[in-house]
């Protein structure tokens, strides 16, 4: 089972030290909704020399995980080849508004997706979410567009955080099987 599927609900806790007095923990389905609606995500990986690398990208939520694509020669793909640990971050309600929205941070391992039926479903989700400019042909275990090949990665949450802003501020942690 995957994160967000029935039967695999995360352990949810509110951190009272970083939350308003009357705050409650954000429900995991609200975080999934935020990730489904968000357009831009920030991927953090680790370079071979240990320095961080952060880059914006597009991602889709499907079957309990975030999915993104990148060229196999890009820095993020090279980083993930050496170290699969990564973090994806996004925000709702304009992202930079101090008084509204939900920031979601997902920690996990990036696993390459290469089976064509899954890739076709993900390609359809990209078009549904981002429009026809993001249409991919699926073949040979990858996305193809305009003469370029992109590998696709799946990041299933191990630990995730939600930072709620508005009338009350909250910090929620979701832990899945094996999460710290």
Per-residue tens of pLDDT for the chain, all 180 residues: 444 454 468 999 999 888 999 999 999 999 999 999 999 999 999 999 999 999 999 999 999 999 999 999 999 999 999 999 999 999 986 667 777 889 999 999 999 999 999 999 999 999 999 999 999 999 999 999 999 999 999 999 999 999 998 888 999 999 998 656
In a domain, 81, yes or no: yes
In a domain, 62, yes or no: yes
Q: Name residue, tokens 């993900």.
A: 122
Q: Which residues constitute the domain of residue 85? A: 25-115+148-175
In a domain, 56, yes or no: yes
Taking alpha carbons only, the member of 158, 151, 165, 148 closest to residue 99 is 165
Looking at the 3D structure of the chain, how many domains does it have?
A: 1
* C-beta atoms surrounding 33 within 10 Å: 15
In a domain, 106, yes or no: yes
CATH number for position 155: 2.30.110.10
């Amino acid at each position: 089972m995957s994160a967000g599927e029935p039967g695999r609900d995360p352990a949810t806790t509110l951190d009272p030290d970083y939350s308003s007095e009357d705050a409650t923990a954000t429900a995991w389905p609200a975080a999934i909704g935020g990730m489904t609606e968000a357009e831009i995500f920030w991927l953090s990986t680790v370079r071979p020399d240990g320095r961080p690398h952060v880059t914006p990208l597009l991602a889709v939520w499907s079957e309990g995980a975030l999915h993104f694509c990148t060229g196999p020669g890009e820095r993020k793909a090279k980083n993930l080849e050496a170290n699969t640990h990564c973090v994806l971050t996004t925000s709702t309600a304009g992202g930079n508004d101090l008084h509204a929205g939900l920031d979601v941070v997902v920690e996990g391992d990036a696993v390459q997706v290469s089976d064509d039926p899954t890739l076709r479903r993900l390609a359809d989700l990209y078009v549904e979410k981002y429009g026809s400019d993001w249409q991919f042909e699926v073949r040979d275990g990858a996305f193809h567009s305009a003469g370029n090949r992109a590998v696709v990665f799946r990041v299933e949450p191990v630990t995730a955080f939600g930072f709620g802003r508005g009338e009350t501020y909250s910090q929620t942690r979701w832990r899945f099987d094996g999460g710290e």
